[in-house]
Amino acid sequence: MNHLVSCDQIDRPTLDALIRSADRFERMAGRLNPNEGEGRLLATLFYEPSTRTRLSFEAAQYRLGGQVLSTEAAGQFSSHVKGESLEDTIRVIGSYADAIVLRHPEAGAAARAAAVSPVPVINAGDGDNEHPTQAVLDLYTIHREVGLQDGLTVALSGDVRHSRTIHSLARLLALYKGIELVFAHPENQGLPADVSAALHAAGVAVTHVKTLREAVEGCRPDVLYMTRLQRERHEVGATWREDWREFCLTPELLGRLKNHTAVLHPLPRLSEIPAALDADPRAAYFRQAAYGVPVRMAILAALYRGPHPAVRSLSCVRAAG
């Protein structure tokens, strides 16, 4: 593939190779590896706020020996304010950089950008649609914390309807056999139809429950994936946040998890995980954030190994990983 827009572009061999590559970069402990990215320019174009995704991509690019062009508030400080289309912006930035990392508030924006870009586009989140590199990072975290394997039980809690991280993670987990996914969410706030259809087509065992307690006590998951209430994606006046307390992890619920369960969160968190739980060895979310650098190094390196400077492919990561 020439771009990374959707998890649908990632198959099991590619994912396995990216994980092996990330392991290699993790073992380097942050040392520069200029053979992978020397002379490359990465543009990070973010129309929505970001801490971990933008900075981990930029850190990854620098660790690979490359450089970065960045705008962190493109919705306010770019020609978007003057009415320039996303397509025209991408065409221009693609003439400056070797790859573009794009975050945009509109679902489908990454695919629109990829359709006109002369260089690879990496989807860093498009509205409430997908966040494929976060999903690779999440699976890498499971690999490091629990062991990524067939037959895992994963509970995903919170704003299931609007969480692009949940949508993408569920799609990639479907690559594994015997996976059981338990979604804990308020009534009428379940998965979008396209994600549900993809999981059904893959034969994934899916359960929906109405509280985090039901998920923890009912399936005792190997992985508990927590998410925040995505206030920015709800209609003005939405009231279901009153039920948010049913999706907060308490010391008592944490005590009911298995000793090996990994508690993940894409961050930022609100009240769904109290800071008092951070010291528990099962709380893996800050380690998860740190893994973002080697994982995104692996993704960038895969794109940069492509056959042509303007048309690079992730497919070659299978042999190189």
Angle between helices 292-304 and 52-63 (to 10 degrees): 60
User: Residue 92: CB partners within 8 Å, gap ≥ 6?
Assistant: none
Q: What's the Cα-to-Cα distance from 188 to each of 64, 192, 228, 257, rounded to whole Å?
A: 44, 10, 17, 27
Q: Looking at residue 44, what DSSP letter applies? A: E
| Phi, psi torsion values for 209, nearest 5 degrees | -130, 165
Q: What's the Cα-to-Cα distance from 180 to each of 23, 142, 203, rounded to whole Å?
A: 26, 15, 10
Q: What angle do CA 121, 51, 189 make, to 5 degrees?
A: 80
Could you list the active site residues?
52-53, 82, 103, 131
Q: What angle do CA 246, 249, 252 make, to 5 degrees?
A: 105
CA-based end-to-end distance of the chain: 16
Q: What angle do CA 145, 146, 151 make, to 5 degrees?
A: 150
Sign of CA dihedral 177, 182, 188, 191: negative
Three-state DSSP class for residue 123: strand
Distance CA 109, CA 113 (A): 6
268 prior amide bond cis, ω within 30: yes
Angle between helices 12-27 and 292-304 (to 10 degrees): 120
